[in-house]
Amino acid sequence: MVSLQYYGQHICGGFLITEEFVLTAAHCWKKCDILTVVVGTHDLREKNDCNSFKVTSYIPHPDYNSNTFENDIMLLKLNKNVRLSNNIGLISLSKNGKSAKAETLCSVAGWGTLWLNGPPIDRLREAETVIMCDAECEYRWGPYYKASKMICVYGHGGTCIGDSGGPLVCNNTAVGITAFGDRYLCNSRLRPNVYTRISAYIPWIHNITGKV
């Protein structure tokens, strides 16, 4: 898990899929913004320049649409390879078009607020979630939800402001990227959190990184 920062302030999450590429959400980057990637820390108050990396290439999906939330996925190429350790590791991706089935228990993590308009937090938090069936996701979100490209979840915990870009992990595999949710309420069953379905983008990721 990495923190994407703008002038030292956490704005989004992301995760390493190779030593030089981070996967995150496309909406986390506004053109001309210069982001820093911080790896290997649970507490954002612990500053360490050795764990900070510059981004040399911002690669949002070419079909990303900020109005419909489709294809909300982006790769960041770092200025140098990250040295892996006990605290810094890669997250495996879902492959061969496979994704988590409904009712699978998964987890999400991030430095986002605990409630809408809540204060920012410094320590990484994790919550359990459950994959919701596509039919209910479509009922809750209507035309915004595209089952072939998105996943939604429910549970007592979830994501909120500042958690975008982080991974939805099921059975030690990243299957989704935190994308969007209810504008007025975090972790709402009426408007469940939605994630970009990683399995739909494996060929695109592979073409850029050369491996996944």
The reported pLDDT for the residue numbered 96 is: 67
Q: Catalytic: 43?
A: no
> Which domains, and CATH codes, for the chain?
2-90+201-209 (2.40.10.10), 92-199 (2.40.10.10)
Model confidence at 211, pLDDT cuts 50, 70, 90, reads low
Which of left, alpha, beta for 145 (phi over 0: left; psi -120 to 50: alpha)? beta
pLDDT average, residue stretch 189-196: 92
Q: Mind listing the pLDDT tens digit for each residue in 17-59? A: 999 999 999 999 998 899 999 999 999 988 776 699 999 999 9
3-class secondary-structure state, position 137: helix
Active-site residue, from 27, 94, 163, 182: 27
- Residue 27 is a catalytic residue: yes
pLDDT in tens, 139-173: 999 999 999 999 999 987 789 989 999 999 999 99
Q: What percent of the chain has pLDDT over 90?
A: 78
pLDDT at 50: 67
**pLDDT, position 49:** 67
Pairing of strands 2-6, 36-39: antiparallel
Residue 112 and residue 95: Cα distance in Å, rounded? 28
Using CA atoms, how far residue 146 sits from 31, 37, 83, 180, in Å, is 26, 30, 37, 13
| 83-104 confidence digits (pLDDT tens) | 999 889 999 997 766 788 999 9
pLDDT of residue 99: 81
164 labelled catalytic: yes
Which of the following is catalytic: 10, 94, 163, 164?
164
Point out the catalytic residue in the list 72, 163, 182, 199: 72
